[in-house]
Amino acid sequence: MDHVFIEGLEIEAVIGIYDWEREIRQPLVFDLEMEFDNRAPAASDAIEHTLDYSAVCARISAFVAASRFGLVETLAERVAALVIEEFGVRRVALKLTKPGAIRNARGVGVRIERERAPG
Ligand SMILES: Nc1nc2c(c(=O)[nH]1)N=C([C@H](O)[C@@H](O)CO)CN2
């Protein structure tokens, strides 16, 4: 199956479980692989037949920038659901990195894969 991907989408948000983290915005980095049949847009050369990665980036950026979750797990789950529900994606793999959260680690975070419910 084909994919449309987004690598290294950086967005700042309020995220974290500690009191001091509720007072600041921290950088987050998103990597997504979205299952999508690219044959129709390849045949028509028309943007309206694509899974438009610029539209997906804009929507994720708006959602994440306005969010205030504690755990990266919660945010990752919500972003995956948004991609599936709003963009009609059947399956998405999403990696959410919180860079610099842990001294001596380049990044920490979660990687999830979610599918649209059948039916
Ligand atoms: N599995 C997780 N572990 C931790 C999280 C998290 O969101 N998921 N968050 C924190 C703190 O907010 C941390 O990022 C502050 O440095 C700790 N562990």
Domain boundaries, the chain: 3-115
Ligand 1 pocket test, pick from 15, 24, 97, 98 with the greatest ligand atom count within 8 Å of Cβ, gives: 98
Give pTM, 2 decimals: 0.97
Chain segment 40-84, per-residue pLDDT in tens: 999 999 999 999 999 999 999 999 999 999 999 999 999 999 999
User: Which DSSP string corresponds to 17-77?
Assistant: SSGGGGSS-EEEEEEEEEE--THHHHHH--GGGS--HHHHHHHHHHHHHT---S-HHHHHH
Q: Is 16 close to ligand 1, i.e. is its CB under 6 Å away?
A: yes
If pLDDT is split at 50, 70 and 90, which confidence band does 98 have? very high
Per DSSP, what are the bridge partners of residue 110?
96
If pLDDT is split at 50, 70 and 90, which confidence band does 100 have? confident
95 is catalytic: no
> What's the whole-number average pLDDT of the chain?
98
| 91-99/107-115 β-pairing | antiparallel
- In this structure, what token pair is assigned to residue 58? 């804009």
Q: Which fold has domain 3-115?
A: GTP Cyclohydrolase I, domain 2 (3.30.1130)
